[in-house]
Structure 1
């Protein structure tokens, strides 16, 4: 049985045949409309929009062909079953070419043949309609996805530009010191960030940070880092006497401030970072480490070594405390800070092997940014599996 409400249209100029077909179809549970002429049938088709049409092919001197053509050209995907006399196979083939879905031979003696043909035609039509709906939904979803992807690309491109604008000039020379950086994101946006700036007339500050994760959420934290360090420095400038020309901008205080701020923000992100302050008068470097590896590498007199220090990652532990380490700076030196993505570019079967290789590589290339980038095979135009950042600070290194 067909679902109730299925409407069929029978077009036949033989009243007896038409009534018999109608009776068969109504027994199947269908609502049946009737037309005795081609013109009436086409008009009724457009008015009632039946789900299937049965049409006598030889209606009114062969007008059944015209009915098939007009219904097919209407584009409503309604199946048409034509009925033709036994021996008129050429006519049946022509009707199929015009768009008919099936044919039956007149006279029709077996109602089961009619029932089977109707069910098959309706099932095919409904399947075709469902496929069309699915295709339209997919096309609509694809269009929406393309729009969202474009918006995402535009958003990430804008975010990338914002992040680039936050980065300091490279190279940057201040007094005797030269600082330069390279940052290669694994995606549009980077979870690595570097910054350096003048704190006072006699102090330079810098830091390198590696935010957990990748993409926009990690990049957002780099914006917070920039904001927090800038704000902290501004507040200390306001509170301290200008007469001395100095600010007690301790790296450990900065890491502690960022640690508390990230925990309070509840972003689910933490940072490994290291920051330092150069006292140009005393020619010393004071630095603090927040769970960051590899440690800074200092190069002087043809030798390179790691600086010492340790500390917990920033933004994870409320009770984390950060220590300051102070060293005297040589007359000629370079200091290299790297994110852990650099370790993936080094030879070695273990992390320990890779870490041991880094100072030797820096020494081999004179502690210069160009030499380090070339030795690691780093290209700012290539996509890397992890964010990579390198910061080189030097004095009289050449």
Structure 2
């Protein structure tokens, strides 16, 4: 069925042929303009811009080839069908070369051939136009996407730099204690975070956090964790300006739990945190739903520290417990995110967890040896954010 308002232009200096063509096309539902010579046809084309042109290939004033060339130069999207009494193949090739969409031979004994050629050329032209519009829309969408990706990459680069600046130096030596960490993000930004710092002249604090999810939203929570822990330490120092500071890990987890819930970010955190009192040689630690548990390595043996607790940022009534442990003279304490378990061979989680202290023993408590045993010394994509924190004392 022909779309209403489709206008055709017939250019032919043979009046009877032109009129017969025009009359038949009008009965097919087209609006038809007629021109008795090439110049009149060009004028009508310029003023009316028909959807399709039919023209004789041999006219007295302008060559049909030149007419086709001028029309296609002005409107490349407009199909032109040439009609000629000659069936010379070179004329056909030349007509198509200069821009004709089809070629018909006079006399047109079967007008259905003409109608079919017109409809086919119109369909092709509309398809080309639609393809061009789609291509333009896709190109525009690609440009916008590239701009958005650039902004996103710039933002992620800035976020990555912020995270790096927040992390403590590694390795970090303070008195008899050595701390070092490694973080391997699954994406550009990590939802894992570690920190260690002096609480007082005789206290060292540390924690490892694993934020739910991945990417920017999880990385943002690590910034909050750094801010909250720093703010707590600052407030405590204001109250206790001298000597050891009352800095209980369970209080820290409780404060972060309440803060995350009030922020309504839809994120929760599993955490391990502790404070070492150098005077008494004791470790006080608290666990917020984190697995695997801390691993203590000393005298060639490694084992998990006991403890449990709810994830941080999920339950308003969550309570956290402090555990106290007398530390050996020489030891290495390992904290890691659950992404480490993905690097350990085993068919079940229990098997993998049982294997982790064994790997710590094989590594002799050393970071590089441990990463090598876990296969994390190679630059490969990780399925999850992975973080490892080692705190050791070897007088």
Q: Distance in 1 between matches of 2:382 and 2:114?
A: 67
8 Å contact from structure 2 (residues 186, 383) kept in 1: yes
**Structure 2 match to 1:195:** 195
Q: Distance in 2 between matches of 1:173 and 1:167?
A: 15
**Structure 2 match to 1:142:** 142
Q: Which runs of 5+ in 2 are unaligned?
A: none
8 Å contact from structure 1 (residues 84, 91) kept in 2: no
**Cα deviation digits, residues 167-201 of structure 1 (max 9, x gap):** 00011111111111000101100111000111122
Tell me which moved more, 246-255 or 70-79. 70-79
Is structure 2 residue 12 aligned with structure 1 residue 12? yes
What secondary structure is seen at the aligned counterpart in 2 of 1:288?
Answer: strand
**Structure 1 match to 2:292:** 294
**Structure 1 match to 2:207:** 207
Task: Give the deviation of 1:87 after TM superposition.
Answer: 4.1
What secondary structure is seen at the aligned counterpart in 2 of 1:236?
Answer: helix
**Cα deviation digits, residues 140-167 of structure 1 (max 9, x gap):** 2222222222222222121111111110
Q: Distance in 2 between matches of 1:94 and 1:242?
A: 96
**Structure 2 match to 1:217:** 217
Q: Distance in 2 between matches of 1:342 and 1:219?
A: 19
TM-score (norm 2): 0.95
Q: Distance in 2 between matches of 1:213 and 1:14?
A: 77
Q: Distance in 1 between matches of 2:207 and 2:90?
A: 87
**Structure 2 match to 1:160:** 160
Task: Give the deviation of 1:124 after TM superposition.
Answer: 1.2
**Cα deviation digits, residues 241-261 of structure 1 (max 9, x gap):** 324x22211000011111111
Q: Distance in 2 between matches of 1:138 and 1:67?
A: 34
Tell me which moved more, 83-92 or 284-293. 83-92
**Cα deviation digits, residues 326-376 of structure 1 (max 9, x gap):** 111111111111111111111222111111111111112211112211111
TM-score (norm 1): 0.95
**What is the aligned length?**
395
**Structure 2 match to 1:36:** 36
Is structure 2 residue 273 aligned with structure 1 residue 275? yes
Task: Give the deviation of 1:39 after TM superposition.
Answer: 2.3
8 Å contact from structure 2 (residues 79, 101) kept in 1: yes
Is structure 2 residue 241 aligned with structure 1 residue 262? no
Pairing of 1:82-231 with structure 2 (within 5 A): 82-85=82-85, 87-231=87-231
1:347–1:93 Cα change, 3 Å? closer
Query: 4+ residue stretches of structure 1 with deviation over 6 A?
Result: none
What secondary structure is seen at the aligned counterpart in 2 of 1:229?
Answer: helix
8 Å contact from structure 1 (residues 191, 219) kept in 2: yes
**Cα deviation digits, residues 100-127 of structure 1 (max 9, x gap):** 1112222323332222221111111111
Pairing of 1:328-343 with structure 2 (within 5 A): 328-343=326-341
Tell me which moved more, 257-266 or 96-105. 96-105
Pairing of 1:370-389 with structure 2 (within 5 A): 370-379=368-377, 381-389=379-387
**Cα deviation digits, residues 79-105 of structure 1 (max 9, x gap):** 111111154444233212322111222
8 Å contact from structure 1 (residues 298, 333) kept in 2: yes
What secondary structure is seen at the aligned counterpart in 2 of 1:393?
Answer: strand
**Structure 1 match to 2:314:** 316
Q: Distance in 2 between matches of 1:88 and 1:358?
A: 85
Task: Give the deviation of 1:135 after TM superposition.
Answer: 1.6
**Structure 2 match to 1:77:** 77
What secondary structure is seen at the aligned counterpart in 1 of 2:302?
Answer: strand
What secondary structure is seen at the aligned counterpart in 2 of 1:77?
Answer: coil
8 Å contact from structure 1 (residues 289, 323) kept in 2: yes
